[in-house]
A and B are shown apart, each in its own frame.
Chain A
Amino acid sequence: MTTLSNPGYPPGTVITGKWRNSRYIVERMLGKGANGKVYLVHRAGVRGRYALKVGHDALDLQSEINVLNALKEQMPDPYLVEADDHHDGSHEVSFYVMRYIEGSPLHRFIRKRGTEWVSLIGLKLLEKLSVLHASGYAFGDLKPDNVMVSAYGRVELIDYGGVSSFGRSVKQFTEWYDRGYWNAGSRTGDVSYDLFSFAVMCIGLLDEKSLREASCQLPQTRSVADLQLILRRNPVFKPYAVWLNKALCGNFADSREALNEWKKRMYEGTVKSARPIPGRTPRWLRNAFALSLVIMACAVYFFFRS
């Protein structure tokens, strides 16, 4: 098939919308997947860059666009910019334009910057998920490739192709992160489905080797117990274990509760000693201030002496 061997559009290609006439100029390809290719583009004559996804299949892409449109009203800064068709010389293709998310996928970020970022990024990701959940949608295909992290730990979800309304079947999933794969429940999109994936993702980020080993056994014996065993064996999970266990067992009522408990647990241990008390001046500032007072006193003293 043409779509499989197709190398994609070279830099400088102009993509023109058939219905709305916007023109986008390709800078480079950002990535490709089962559903399409994503390019970094800018609008002709305007500054500002976008990501533009060209779909392999008009129907699949439209169903992704429908989800993004439905979410547009709920999101503080909308992800979807516009959708249109483009005639690329040989055939008609559908595309949509979205916000360009700069950064690297979660697993690469953690590998580069260290596992101590997991608690903060986990928190930000849970915030994103709870916005989605509040609109009645499950993300579905939650995995490190679909979580982009910018240089200072800003987190964004990409690839909404797996999103489904609560109570509907999950459209796309990936073995390790799938509740069904671990014989731990249905493939129906709900809050706990995403929280389960989130938990497996954390396990993979903190101890990929053990997760890989656990996934290698016979399919019929695979279970949550194997994941729980990893939590118990490796001390790196100490601050996370109780929370992760609860997510694996589907014991959070909703993602707000999950978020609050994450906050509570993560910030109790690590940040407690250094936590600034709201409304009070941090100690380093007080010390610095005290020091500057001393210096000023000396300066004044010397000034009057001379």
Chain B
Amino acid sequence: MKQILLITDGCSNVGASPVLAAAHALQDGIVVNVVGVLDYGTIGELGGLEIKEIAKAGGGIHRIVGTPQLAQTMQMMTRKTVVQTIQQAVNKEIQHILGSGSLEELPPDKRSQVVEVVDELAETSSLQVALLIDASASMKPKLAAVEEAIRDLMLSLKARLGSSKLSVFHFPGKHSGEDVVMDVDWTSDLDGARGMFSRLQMKGATPTGPALLKVIEFYRYGTLEGNQSWQGDSSQEEGMLGDYVV
């Protein structure tokens, strides 16, 4: 399972549409979740709308929270999305077997069995989450909290039975034209990485769309440079379900 978790506090202002980028991600089997972090004031009508639209297009969920709730929210969204992704696949299987119907329509004993499978897969299937952090100037005072929340997320993911990997990106980069910078490559342990965002230079531009597209490429090719060597594919999941739902 693949997810992108975008952490931002406002509107994009450069480059490709982030909503379209999120739709591309979903097409590639990557669910996009969005957290708006806000300590004072409001995120603005436009910002709020964009956050919602990105999540909608990316098949994910969105939340707007203050830094104290950030860690808890990120871990809840990730977990919920894992379950939802599996549930969607399972619902497809249910329809395949029963002709129609979803979880809610199943009689209690069948539903209980299906949910057991969903819970099992949610715990054991492998998971990748790419965190994409808006590092525009207004985010600066929140980055310490963001880093702690990422650490906390890693702790939760580590407890799963299945393999779980995180990667961390921020945008924009130092040079103009550099849309995104990788801070941490795929890892299942963040113990080594202290001060993830310590060398940042804050800038005003917020190229959310281009940054999302880069991360999709990273998922595809394993690098930001746009290369070959595909990383896994989505058929894996269905094969797994096939074993369970008979």
Chain A residues packing against B (C-beta within 8 Å)? 19, 58-59, 62-63, 65-66, 69, 83-85, 92, 94, 167-171, 175, 180, 186-188, 219-220
Contacts and interface: CB of A to CB of B under 8 A. Distances in A.
Contacts of A186: 155, 158-159
B87 A59 contact: yes
B104 A92 contact: yes
B159 A66 contact: no
Interface string B84-113: 000100000000000000011001100110
Contact of B155 (A65, A83, A168, A187): A187
B116 A66 contact: yes
Contact of B112 (A66, A175, A188): A66
A220 B194 CA distance: 10
B83 A69 contact: no
Contacts of B161: 167-169
B148 A180 contact: no
Contacts, number: 58
Nearest to A193: B159
B111 A169 contact: no
Given A168-B123, A188-B159, A58 B104 contact: yes
12 contacts: A59-B103, A59-B118, A62-B103, A62-B111, A62-B112, A63-B115, A66-B119, A169-B160, A175-B72, A187-B155, A219-B148, A219-B151
A92 B160 CA distance: 32
Nearest to A175: B72
Given A19-B108, A188-B159, A59 B152 contact: no
Contacts of A94: 104
B27 interface: no
Contact of A66 (B115, B151, B158): B115
Contacts of B115: 59, 62-63, 66
A63 B104 contact: no
B159 A187 contact: yes
Interface string B44-88: 000000000000000000000000000010000001000100010
B159 A69 contact: no
A206 B29 CA distance: 50
A66 B103 CA distance: 15
Given A59-B87, A168-B161, A220-B148, A180 B156 contact: yes
Nearest to A189: B159
A59 B106 CA distance: 11
B159 A65 contact: no
A65 B107 contact: no
A295 B108 CA distance: 69
A171 B123 CA distance: 10
B111 A58 contact: yes
Contacts of A168: 123, 159-161
Contacts of B116: 66
Contacts of B103: 58-59, 62
A170 B161 CA distance: 11
Nearest to B118: A59
Name which of B116, B119, B152, B161 has the most chain A CB atoms within 10 A of its CB.
B119
B5 to A, nearest CB: 18
A15 to B, nearest CB: 15
Contact of B107 (A19, A175, A220): A19
Contacts of B112: 62, 65-66, 69
